[in-house]
Amino acid sequence: MNEPLAERLRPKKLEDYISQSHLVGKEGVLTQHIKKGLIPSIIFWGPPGIGKTTLANIIALTSERPFYSLSAINSGVKDVRDIINKAKQSGGLFTAKNPILFIDEIHRFSKSQQDSLLQAVEKGWVTLIGATTENPSFEVISALLSRCQIYTLNSFNKNDLETLLNRAIVKDEVLSKKSIKLKETNALLKFSGGDARKLLNIFELIINAYQSEEIIITDKTVTSMIQNDTIHYDKSGDQHYDIISAFIKSIRGSDPNAAVYWLARMIQGGEDVKFIARRLIILASEDIGNANPTALVIANNTFQAVSIIGNPESRIILSQCATYLACSVKSNATYNAINKAQQKVEETGNMSVPLEIRNAPTKLMKELGYGENYKYAHDFKNNFISQEFLPEKIKGTVFYEPGNNSRENLQREFLKKNWKDKYGY
């Protein structure tokens, strides 16, 4: 049989779909949509091999709609228009049964390609289902985003992946005829990187390599069979995430040599330069922050520059930014501050804004005490006057602890001078 295990085992109905209970469980939002027969245009966002294509197929089968599929890698505006014309002629206009157009890796569509979808989605000629491994807020135009529901698919956990392996052993028409004992799974899960499709393909490869009738799967046998298999950079697979992680950690660890090596790996693998630049912007704020505010300016300028320049010269700009950030003083104080503040909000809920710092645009609000006793900082010496800005129950709480570096030490002195002992600076 030529069909790979991952394809043979692809679920055909929601009941067989593993994980994503928030979408396909009994009370899941997709389950409810399918029951009602009213499917909105959707963009599925999640890591590779998580089941985005499978979900699109299940929706089409369950709702009994015509199904058209395109891959953004090898499709252009003409392909999109051809399918839209077919959909318009299928007799499903303005009904609950309008055709589904599935676009894999929709983040790879250019603006003009995405623009070509707008009218069809808006007028209901097709129900669009897009799949992306990248944040759609960055990669999908706002006009299309506003017409779609965004659903996030979570990574598989260990139990999900082991369930998938056991299902393959029991239910697959080929594997079920063999004597397979799955003693250990750690190596299989490690080499698959959480990608279900890759997991099943590796599993089948190992099963087929056995000569004996009894097949015993252990971590040792799995490792010995595939440890010499060269892993190439795959910008849509787990290496995409592993290498960007190595790149970011190298910069965070102030190693410009490792940073440019991993940068070169991504560039050679054809990684999207804007994706790399966006990660540098995040790092500049998360790992450097106020220790060197210029880092964020340079990272943002890098994103603008590579968006204009493109390949191959973008590599030079990215290299400059990466080495600059790697050699910069580090601080995660601002990152920690917002994390602490969000945790406090979750713990305490929506506490009232103190009356004196509320906005008072109307006479009634002023009579109720809104803005009363507010002290305008610029009316006082050094543009500062001690007053309370936090809700009563959490006043005096410290969220921002400046790091131990020259710039943030100056911030600490500034805060200590103004607030005295209030925040303990």
Name the residue ranges covered by the structural domains of the chain.
20-152, 158-226, 238-326, 339-419
pLDDT at 341: 94
Please state the length of the chain: 425
Give the H or E element holding residue 312.
none
Per the model's pLDDT, the better-predicted residue between 64 and 425 turns out to be: 425
**What is the share, in percent, of the chain residues with pLDDT greater than 70?**
94
The structure tokens listed for 153 are: 């698919």
Residue 76: what are its φ and ψ, rounded to 5°?
Answer: -120, -175
145-176 burial: b if 16+ Cβ within 10 Å, else e: eeebeebebebbeeebbbebbebbbeebeebe
Average pLDDT, the chain: 88
- For residues 165 and 323, give the distance between their C-alpha atoms in angstroms, rounded to a whole number: 43
CATH of domain 339-419: 1.10.3710.10
User: Nearest CA to 342 among 399, 425, 422?
Assistant: 399
Confidence band (pLDDT; 50, 70, 90) for 91?
low
- For residues 105 and 135, give the distance between their C-alpha atoms in angstroms, rounded to a whole number: 11
**What is the share, in percent, of the chain residues with pLDDT greater than 90?**
45
Per-residue pLDDT tens digits for 382-423: 999 999 999 999 999 999 999 999 999 999 999 999 999 999
CATH of domain 158-226: 1.10.8.60
Per-residue pLDDT tens digits for 11-31: 888 888 888 888 888 888 888
Q: Is the pLDDT of residue 33 over 70?
A: yes
Q: Which 3 state secondary structure label does DSSP give 35?
A: helix
The alpha-helical segments, DSSP class H, found in 269-405 are 273-283, 294-309, 314-326, 333-348, 363-367
- For residues 207 and 222, give the distance between their C-alpha atoms in angstroms, rounded to a whole number: 10
Q: Is the pLDDT of residue 231 over 60?
A: no
Please give the average per-residue pLDDT across 110-124, as a whole number: 87
The structure tokens listed for 98 are: 């309008």
Under DSSP, the state recorded for 12 is S
Under DSSP, the state recorded for 18 is -
Please give the average per-residue pLDDT across 281-296, as a whole number: 96
Confidence band (pLDDT; 50, 70, 90) for 94?
very low
Confidence band (pLDDT; 50, 70, 90) for 236?
low
Q: Is the pLDDT of residue 223 over 90?
A: no
Beta strand ranges found along 83-208 (DSSP E): 100-104, 127-132, 149-152, 179-182
- For residues 416 and 390, give the distance between their C-alpha atoms in angstroms, rounded to a whole number: 18
Domain 158-226 in the same topology as domain 20-152: no
- For residues 380 and 384, give the distance between their C-alpha atoms in angstroms, rounded to a whole number: 6
In terms of Cβ atoms closer than 10 Å to its own Cβ (0-12, 13-18, 19+), residue 335 is: middle
Q: Lowest-confidence range among 39-53, 87-101, 155-169?
A: 87-101
Q: Which 3 state secondary structure label does DSSP give 83?
A: helix
pLDDT at 253: 95
Q: What is the CATH T-level fold of the domain 238-326, as seen in this structure? A: Zinc Finger, Delta Prime; domain 3 (1.20.272)
Architecture of domain 20-152: 3-Layer(aba) Sandwich (3.40)
pLDDT at 318: 97
User: Nearest CA to 72 among 4, 136, 150?
Assistant: 136
pLDDT at 303: 95
Confidence band (pLDDT; 50, 70, 90) for 90?
low
pTM value is: 0.60
Is the backbone peptide bond immediately before 40 cis, with ω within 30 degrees of 0?
Answer: no
Residue appearing with tokens 């964020």 = 296
pLDDT at 34: 82
Q: At residue 341, what is the residue type?
A: A
Q: Lowest-confidence range among 199-213, 253-267, 293-307, 340-354?
A: 199-213
pLDDT at 134: 83
Q: Is the pLDDT of residue 232 over 60?
A: no
Please give the average per-residue pLDDT across 202-228, as a whole number: 84
